[in-house]
Structure 1
Amino acid sequence: MTRSPRALLAATALAGLLATAPALAITPVPAAPTAEAVVETYADIAHAMYADSLAAARDLRGAVDALLENPSDETLAAAREAWRAARVPYQQTEGLRFGNAVVDDWEGKVNAWPLDEGLIDYVASDSYGEESDENPLYTANVVANETIRVGRETIDASTIDAALLQALHEADGVEANVSTGYHAIEFLLWGQDLNGTDAGAGARPASDFALGEGCTSANCERRRDYLVAATDLLVSDLEEMVAAWEDGGAARADIAGKGAEGGLATILTGLGSLSYGELAGERMKLGLLLHDPEEEHDCFSDNTHNSHYYNQVGMQALYGGRYERTDGSIVEGPGLADYAQAQAPEAAQAVSAAMEEAHARLAVMKQRADDGIEAYDQMLALGNTEGNAVLQAGVEGLVSQARALETLVADLGLTITVEGSDSLDDPTLVQ
């Protein structure tokens, strides 16, 4: 068939366009990440989280120096703010526990709670009491006493230093004898919160750290020594964990040595256990069942809403393979979310949705406290229907997250053991 001149012209023009047009880019579908790559990203994020925690602890140490050089309302407020800031990166690390023995064996030195604060310093006996059947060191008061009786042994406490604090940590086999870590420092900076479920946190005066005639509550020099020793220990303990996640470090080597399936199981064990037994159960539901402000995690500072919120932020970072550092830089790589999406897409989507929902519910709790509506301990109060509901919504979101993770574990053909909690599994056992 003979083409018309118009058709020939169109064909020629089209041929010219095709000859000069750039080749269309074909984006290849990204290959599913290997389990080994996922574990490597996880270890890189762990290292960055602990490095940020260490940097913040060093900032806290500087703020403590400023407080002790010139005890005032301003320097005490700055030290407290540095403590709060130090909690932000550290709380994001807690999804690294439970599956990583190196972390779980170490964690009690820096974040053990609850604590019997009478071991450390003076307390209000009318609310705290004067003795405990479970703890002979309930009111040992290291700051005030130069000898401490632990069982049949008498410990020389004339010098308050790191060695003394380490010797007294969980002394007599009592877990509530917490002498080191964030919460010991928190108590020293704030003092007891004597407000129950009413508004207000601890109100220790700056003069508790003054020297000479300005000293209040006595033993200010020893209290200063305790604060320095506890902060120095926090820094050195975090240095240990940063090193553990460096190339060749014990924690990184341990998870790499578990193989592909073992590494993935470790990641999921930490996320599932923190979601369910630890955060939803022991840290949130238990306090709701008892309506007890003593069951809040950062009980002296009224910072619990932030601690719980950043636990969730950290779990999302570990699952997604993307962590935003304190300085705004990003550490990211192939994450468990990517691996799960390739291997078990339906379960992976359910986990992502559950994590977003849990995050949103905990954000409501955080915003309620940040806006000054009420602190976490007030939300726990008996008869506070609205506050209780906010916390219960967070519990339910975390439980749903744990259930979604369990389904993913099964779909990936893995086996893990998740920490339980009487508060969730059998509330009748809670007293």
Structure 2
Amino acid sequence: MKNQILGISLAIMGTTATSAQAITERDVANSYADLAHVIYTDALWAAQQLKSSITNLLENPSEQTLADAKNAWVISRIPYQQSEAFRFSHPVVDEKDLQLNSWPLDEGFIDYVDDDYQGELGNTGATANIIAADSLKLGAKNYDLSKLTPSLLSELNEFGGSEANVATGYHAIEFLLWGQDLNGTESGAGNRPFTDFATGEQCTNGNCDRRRDYLVAATDLLISDVSYIVDQWQPDTSDNYRAELLALDEKEILTRMLFAMGSLAFGELAGERMKVALEANSPEDENDCFSDNTHNGYFDNAKSIANVYTGEYRKLDGTLFSTYSLAELIDQKNPQLAQQMQHQLSETQKAFQTMVDAAESSESPMKFDQMIAEGNDKGAQLINTAIESLAKETELIEQIAQSLDINNLNPSLAQE
């Protein structure tokens, strides 16, 4: 699906060329906010296209309209996954991400599951099956499920305090479109029949009207949540997060940039998303586990870090957004370090491209859930190479911070 290494390498090299006029830390801070707005705007557009495809699916359920909706979901993931280098030091993003991108989820909380299904240990909502239920009780509180709305799904998200009770966001929609992936670490993704969204006698597995309503509500909430983030990064607005951020000292803004980049690179992508799944040989711990799209998502996560560093983003319509960059700023201060970071970003993208190529091989595809299978030495090597590259990238991010006289990569609002 992706073959962007040459373009990435050239883009990184191009953005670090010395400018005719030196750029300032304030230039980079302002451009960082511009970049965030562009990427989230692209994510909103993609979510709206997903909504259109889902509308077509529900108006005319068929194998083709279901395939089209799945494809729209895959495309919608690209800009959102490439936005994640903004997440970890901006509370306005990180808090909304809990409703947009939480995983893994207990499928039985949402819909029917296989007879052998086992939810997270101790999760009382693991088999709640919202789609089939009229009500849901938690202590003295009784939830009326008779009408599935965006606000109800938002209220049910992380029901009972369990992070496995994901009722909203990309992965709830993914599960509804694909169904359970019952293949473990063998080949194959979820295989929900289009008739699960049919009406009347064509309906399979029951509650098709409710499943349709859930899909609509979840998609509408997704659009609302992404739209909220777009508004928070909107320029020329005095009372949003962007205005609050840009009112801060430049060093604090740069600290947030670097903290988020490093957090995504090492703690999240290399750690939670890859190493945990590999060590546990657990397909439940892969990010896009129902669609087997994980390899593309992780490629885009790695690209997200490069986007922030280079000040560039390739939009879904093919146009390139380019602005003042951290890469240029570092090149002015420490050309050798800038060159090292350029090289490492390129090496990281190569490592993830190798994973994409393996997953999408026409002869013998090996998806991420197969790579993490016990005894798959080749798959483990692919993943470990990417992890090691991210670790080196993180070390360089720390050196970049030092070159900017930032000695504490803990932004003041990171834990808010």
TM-score, normalized by length of structure 1? 0.88
Corresponding residue for 1:51? Answer: 41
Does 2:230 align with 1:238?
no
Report the alpha carbon displacement of residue 216 of structure 1 after superposing the two structures with TM: 0.5
| Aligned positions, number | 389
Report the alpha carbon displacement of residue 132 of structure 1 after superposing the two structures with TM: 4.8
Q: Does structure 1 conserve the Cα–Cα contact (< 8 Å) formed by 2:120 and 2:164? A: no
Corresponding residue for 2:394? Answer: 402
Q: Give the distance between the partners of 1:132 and 1:92, measured in 2 at CA.
A: 29
Q: Does structure 1 conserve the Cα–Cα contact (< 8 Å) formed by 2:29 and 2:253? A: yes
Corresponding residue for 1:385? Answer: 377
Deviations 1:84-134 (A, max 9, x none): 0100111000000111121111111111111111110011131x22x6543
Q: Does structure 1 conserve the Cα–Cα contact (< 8 Å) formed by 2:104 and 2:164? A: yes
Corresponding residue for 2:101? Answer: 111
Q: Give the distance between the partners of 1:175 and 1:29, measured in 2 at CA.
A: 47
Corresponding residue for 1:354? Answer: 344
* Matched residue SS, 2:130: coil
Corresponding residue for 1:417? Answer: 410
Deviations 1:26-64 (A, max 9, x none): xx9623211111011111111111111111111100110
Corresponding residue for 1:259? Answer: 249
Q: Give the distance between the partners of 2:367 and 2:140, measured in 1 at CA.
A: 42
Greater relative contact order, per chain length (Cα 8 Å cut-off, separation 6+): 2
Matches within 5 A, 1:129-278: 129=118, 132-247=120-235, 248=237, 250-278=240-268
Corresponding residue for 2:312? Answer: 322
One-letter identity of the residue aligned with 1:285: K
Which residue of the other structure, out of 18, 36, 58, is the alignment partner of 2:26?
36
Which residue of the other structure, out of 364, 367, 373, is the alignment partner of 2:357?
367
**For residues 225 and 29 of structure 1, do their structure 2 counterparts lie closer, same or farther at Cα, with a shift above 3 Å needed?**
closer
* Matched residue SS, 1:193: coil
One-letter identity of the residue aligned with 1:52: D
* Matched residue SS, 1:143: helix
Report the alpha carbon displacement of residue 318 of structure 1 after superposing the two structures with TM: 1.0
Which residue of the other structure, out of 65, 85, 88, is the alignment partner of 1:95?
85
One-letter identity of the residue aligned with 1:49: I
Corresponding residue for 2:4? Answer: none
Report the alpha carbon displacement of residue 411 of structure 1 after superposing the two structures with TM: 2.1
One-letter identity of the residue aligned with 1:189: L
* Matched residue SS, 1:323: strand
Q: Give the distance between the partners of 1:265 and 1:33, measured in 2 at CA.
A: 18
Q: Does structure 2 conserve the Cα–Cα contact (< 8 Å) formed by 1:202 and 1:301? A: yes
Q: Does structure 1 conserve the Cα–Cα contact (< 8 Å) formed by 2:184 and 2:369? A: yes
TM-score, normalized by length of structure 2? 0.91
Report the alpha carbon displacement of residue 184 of structure 1 after superposing the two structures with TM: 0.2
Deviations 1:1-48 (A, max 9, x none): xxxxxxxxxxxxxxxxxxxxxxxxxxx962321111101111111111
One-letter identity of the residue aligned with 1:136: T
CA RMSD of aligned residues (A): 1.4
Q: Give the distance between the partners of 2:122 and 2:329, measured in 1 at CA.
A: 47
Does 2:333 align with 1:343?
yes
Report the alpha carbon displacement of residue 183 of structure 1 after superposing the two structures with TM: 0.2
Does 2:264 align with 1:297?
no
Which residue of the other structure, out of 37, 45, 53, is the alignment partner of 1:63?
53
Matched-pair identity in %: 44
Corresponding residue for 2:8? Answer: none
Deviations 1:134-156 (A, max 9, x none): 31101100000010112331100
Q: Give the distance between the partners of 1:396 and 1:132, measured in 2 at CA.
A: 30
Higher gyration radius (CA): 1
Deviations 1:363-394 (A, max 9, x none): 10011112242111001100111111111111
Report the alpha carbon displacement of residue 346 of structure 1 after superposing the two structures with TM: 2.5
One-letter identity of the residue aligned with 1:258: L
Q: Which runs of 4+ in 1 moved over 4 A?
A: none
* Matched residue SS, 2:136: strand
Q: Does structure 2 conserve the Cα–Cα contact (< 8 Å) formed by 1:291 and 1:381? A: yes
Q: Give the distance between the partners of 1:227 and 1:315, measured in 2 at CA.
A: 31
* Matched residue SS, 1:273: helix
- Between 1:74-83 and 1:407-416, the stretch displaced more is 407-416
Q: Does structure 2 conserve the Cα–Cα contact (< 8 Å) formed by 1:76 and 1:206? A: yes
Q: 5+ residue gaps in structure 1? A: 1-27, 419-431
Deviations 1:287-306 (A, max 9, x none): 11111111110000000001
Q: Give the distance between the partners of 2:74 and 2:267, measured in 1 at CA.
A: 25
